[in-house]
């Protein structure tokens, strides 16, 4: 076991309930991990210990600690997130609570809706509403409407609110144009229709799972008896990231367990967009018998804290010490345009690595990672032979060309679905499917052989001789092989089987792709898993025929479905590479590093909050006064508070220093001068 400080050792051995408070990197998680090991070492069965973490990725540190300790079997150790545990418990106790929770067929086992599937179901609900004139004059794409209605459902449940309460909060707090109230009514109608569909068909999305667990199961005497007789020790890391529903559950257990240990990151609460309530979590300090104040950071020097203080002083008008903050800025790189910024940055990173800083001790953090920025950045790192890994929490798979390509072949193999890809998609799919076929020749093939009116490819014999010679016999042989394969594939083949066969029988073969197709395998894996999930839930979602399933699958992705588990694109993530991630993906899952790059430092994206006119996360927070209007004053204050927390969280995860990387103009050609850039002016040399 690790050598512990005096306060860590006291927290590890504390009896009863204890509350550990301190900044990131001060040793709280290490103390909780050692506490877990100490319980196992003393003979406590793993079956009696419940460990709750804020994010699935945070389980690994606990699993590694147990494995390396050599303390024996730990398969019965419950190491999970609140949402995952709620889903498991609702599924396990389904017969106990299904009827009184309002499900129409309580004897029918539940079908789990992942976030991806919930979007597809919501698409079915919202589409007829849009056709009927709902959400008129709202400048949002349909996919944005779908995701925001789902966000309202999820945030309401996680804040222990019902749908009516959530709708009322948003209506009462709104101070803008009156027509927005009509949009909120439309959103409430969609949310209620979605909920009724779930109750009729025993569908469990995140919102309904949490609502049933929080309002029914946790209060049930039988469940309560089961839970309290099994779990005698409770460990909760990052309790500030727990939602009110999660805090209700923790509060119901902590007085009944033999021991409870809760760790709170001062300055945390990054999941506020998903209902995290750092204010509500402070209650546990008063409820706990023992309090441990962690002060010293093992990760970052005091001057890094002063850098965070300097930003906070500017944003929140505080007066924390900021002396020496300039020493934490390792350099400023930039240029007029993104490409110049990226070129200069990669050159500086290469020098750092040459001087002995390992690539995995560097993190590039950006407020957004759009496709163009991701491509430019990864291309430049690849050209410089610098390894990297992407941290991505959510993405829109339609932005990946290979996914569009495979959906194109799926549509052409099933013309009766009447999904007609444009000629550009066909030429792009040909380029990506046949190694060595350039876009110009692929465009010629699509122009002469693709019949858009029939959604089919013609035989290569239909090509004019001059085109045949220009494209080449070898390339055209692959095109013809692909055409015949699509034509001969049996109609109504399950989508996952079709996609598996397309890759293994055809596109991964050497004549199509001479080298192992790692990207293709990742895309194939994601598409197959998504298709399998849809097929298993299809009946409960009201999809009765293969055509209905196929159309829903293709159109859902092409309309912009956002995946919570995006495929790994390109080469497999290099664990020893430079970390690239957005602000929140890094704060919630990234490891501490020696050097951080704050990319596009002058972008307002650091200060912005998502534009969600149909789902205000802060108004839906249980700690917000439901009668208070949400004005520009509240909006401005929350932006400054969040940016201050972001910088404190980032600086607490960095030991050596920060590189500021900025382009004068954003991707639209607009000059950048955001609040973070202005706050850092005193230390920019």
Cα(562)–Cα(206) distance, integer angstroms:
15
Please report, for the chain, how many H helices and E strands are present, in that order: 28, 16
Structure confidence at residue 572 (pLDDT): 59
**For position 395, what pLDDT does the model report?**
77
CATH class (in words) of the domain with range 6-87+220-293? alpha beta
CA distance 543 to 553: 11
pLDDT of residue 170: 93
Q: What is the pLDDT of residue 273?
A: 85
- Largest CA-CA distance found in the chain, in angstroms, rounded: 86
> Which helix (H) or strand (E) element contains residue 376?
helix 371-383
Q: How far is CA 270 from the centre of its chain?
A: 13
Return phi, psi of residue 512, to 5°: -95, -35
Q: Do domains 6-87+220-293 and 303-394+572-683 have the same CATH topology?
A: yes
Q: Specify the DSSP class assigned to residue 434.
A: S
User: Which pLDDT score, from 0 to 100, does residue 570 have?
Assistant: 53
Please tell me the distance from the alpha carbon of residue 159 to that of residue 214, in angstroms, as a whole number: 10
Sort 354 into a burial class: Cβ within 10 Å, 0-12 / 13-18 / 19+.
Answer: exposed
| CA–CA distance, 265 with 273 (Å, rounded to integer) | 17
- What is d(CA 242, CA 275) in angstroms, rounded to the nearest whole number? 8
Contact 598, 365 (CB under 8 A): yes
Query: Hey, what are 276's tokens?
Result: 């995290």
Fill in the DSSP letter of residue 150.
H
Residues 6+ apart with CB under 8 A from 115: 150, 206, 562, 563, 564
| Residue 365 neighbours by CB under 8 Å, 6+ apart | 581, 582, 583, 586, 590, 596, 597, 598, 599, 650
Angle at 557 (CA atoms; ends 196, 478), nearest 5 degrees: 145
Low-confidence ranges of the chain (pLDDT < 50): none
Per DSSP, 432 falls in state H
Going from N- to C-terminal start, the domains of the chain cover 6-87+220-293, 112-205, 303-394+572-683, 398-558
Question: Hey, what are 280's tokens?
Answer: 């509500």
Three-state SS annotation for 79-96: EECHHHHHHHHHHHCHHH
CATH class, 303-394+572-683 region: alpha beta
Contact 2/30 with Cβ under 8 angstroms?
yes
- Measured CA distances, 93 to 69, 412, 446 (Å): 34, 45, 55
């Amino acid at each position: 076991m690790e050598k512990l400080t005096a306060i860590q050792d006291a927290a590890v051995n504390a009896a009863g309930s204890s509350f550990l408070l301190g900044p990131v990197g001060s040793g709280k998680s290490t103390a909780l991990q050692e506490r877990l090991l100490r319980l196992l070492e003393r003979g406590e069965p793993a079956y009696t210990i419940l460990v709750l973490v804020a994010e699935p990725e945070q389980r690994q540190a606990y699993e590694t600690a147990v494995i390396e300790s050599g303390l024996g079997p730990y398969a019965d150790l419950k190491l999970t997130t609140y949402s995952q545990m709620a889903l498991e418990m609702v599924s396990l106790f389904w017969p106990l609570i299904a009827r009184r929770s309002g499900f129409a067929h309580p004897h029918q086992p539940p079908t789990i809706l992942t976030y991806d599937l919930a979007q597809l179901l919501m698409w079915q609900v919202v589409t007829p509403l849009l056709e009927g004139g709902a959400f008129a004059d709202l400048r949002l794409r349909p996919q944005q409407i779908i995701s925001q209605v789902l966000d309202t459902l999820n945030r309401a449940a996680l804040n222990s609110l019902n749908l009516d309460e959530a709708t009322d909060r948003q209506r009462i707090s709104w101070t803008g144009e009156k027509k927005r109230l009509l949009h909120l009514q439309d959103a409430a109608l969609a949310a209620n229709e979605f909920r009724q569909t779930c109750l009729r068909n025993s569908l469990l999305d995140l919102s309904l799972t949490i609502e049933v667990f929080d309002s029914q199961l946790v209060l049930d005497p039988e469940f309560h008896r089961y839970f309290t007789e099994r779990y005698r020790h409770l460990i909760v890391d990052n309790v500030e990231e727990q939602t009110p529903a999660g805090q209700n559950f923790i509060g119901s257990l902590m007085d009944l367990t033999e021991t409870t240990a809760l760790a709170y990151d001062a300055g945390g609460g990054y999941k506020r967009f998903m209902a995290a309530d750092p204010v509500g979590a402070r209650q546990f300090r008063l409820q706990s018998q023992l309090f441990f104040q962690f002060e010293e950071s093992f990760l970052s020097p005091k001057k890094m804290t002063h850098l965070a203080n300097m930003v906070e002083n500017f944003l929140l008008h505080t007066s924390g010490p900021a002396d020496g903050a300039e020493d934490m800025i390792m350099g400023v790189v930039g240029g007029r345009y993104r490409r110049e910024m990226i070129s200069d940055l990669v050159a500086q990173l290469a020098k750092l690595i040459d001087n002995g800083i390992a690539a995995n001790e560097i993190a590039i953090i950006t407020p957004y990672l759009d496709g163009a920025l991701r491509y430019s950045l990864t291309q430049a790192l690849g050209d410089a032979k610098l390894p990297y890994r992407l941290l991505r929490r959510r993405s829109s798979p339609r932005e990946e060309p290979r996914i569009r390509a495979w959906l194109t072949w799926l549509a052409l193999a099933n013309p009766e679905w009447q999904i007609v890809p444009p000629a550009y998609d066909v030429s792009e799919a040909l380029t990506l499917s046949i190694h060595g076929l350039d876009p110009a020749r692929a465009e010629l093939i699509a122009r002469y052989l693709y019949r858009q009116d029939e959604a089919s490819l013609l035989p290569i014999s239909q090509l004019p001789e001059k085109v045949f010679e220009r494209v080449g016999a070898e390339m055209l042989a692959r095109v013809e092989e692909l055409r015949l394969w699509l034509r001969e594939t049996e109609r109504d083949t399950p989508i996952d089987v079709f996609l598996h066969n397309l890759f293994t029988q055809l596109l991964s073969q050497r004549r199509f792709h001479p080298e192992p197709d790692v990207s293709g395998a990742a895309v194939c894996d994601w598409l197959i898993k998504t298709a399998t999930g849809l097929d298993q839930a299809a009946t409960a979602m009201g999809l009765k025929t293969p055509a209905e399933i196929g159309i829903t699958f293709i159109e859902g992705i092409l309309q912009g479905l956002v995946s919570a588990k995006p495929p790994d694109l390109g080469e497999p993530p290099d664990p020893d590479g430079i970390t690239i991630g957005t602000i929140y993906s890094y704060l919630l899952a990234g490891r501490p590093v020696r050097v951080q790059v704050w990319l596009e430092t002058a972008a307002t994206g650091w200060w912005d909050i998502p534009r969600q006119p149909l789902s205000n996360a802060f108004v839906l927070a249980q700690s917000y006064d439901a009668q208070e209007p949400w004005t520009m004053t509240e909006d401005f204050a929350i932006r400054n508070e969040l940016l201050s927390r972001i910088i404190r969280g980032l600086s607490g995860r960095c030991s050596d220093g920060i590189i500021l990387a900025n382009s004068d103009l954003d991707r639209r050609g607009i000059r950048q001068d955001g609040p973070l850039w202005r706050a850092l002016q005193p230390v920019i040399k």
